[in-house]
Amino acid sequence: MNIIRENFQKLTKEEQLSVDEQIIPFKGKSIMKQHMPNKPNRWGYKMLVLAGGKTGICYDFILYTGKGESPQYGFCTDIVLDLCETVSRLMNHKIYFDNYFTTIRLQVELK
């Protein structure tokens, strides 16, 4: 998975980017399996994804394995900041995310 992630990070990113969660369907037994009742595939592995806003191409992802040991700013803020590390600051990128990730601290850090 690290090789795949590194190759995704090398892709040229489009101007509008989106951070969201995604479920990889899985119905077997696993301690990492998550249940998200509002998603079309309710059971599976939870991925947090940085994707293109128009094309939907994945540029980076994090496999959710549970809450981190010591979050720096909070779980959701840390996830968005980790996914945006490879986004060039010299370009005029726009990052979109839903209310699950929205915190005041995240707004301050992204500014």
pLDDT tens-place string over residues 45-58: 888 899 988 888 99
- The model's pTM: 0.78
Confidence of residue 69 (pLDDT cuts 50, 70, 90): low
| Residue in this structure with the two tokens 């190759």, named with its chain if needed | 7
Three-state DSSP state, 63: strand
Parent domain of 90: 1-110
Tokens standing for residue 17: 């980017």
Q: Are 60 and 49 in contact (CB under 8 A)?
A: yes
- pLDDT for position 97: 84
- Residue-wise pLDDT for 24-45, tens only, equals 898 888 878 888 888 788 889 8
Domain count, the chain: 1
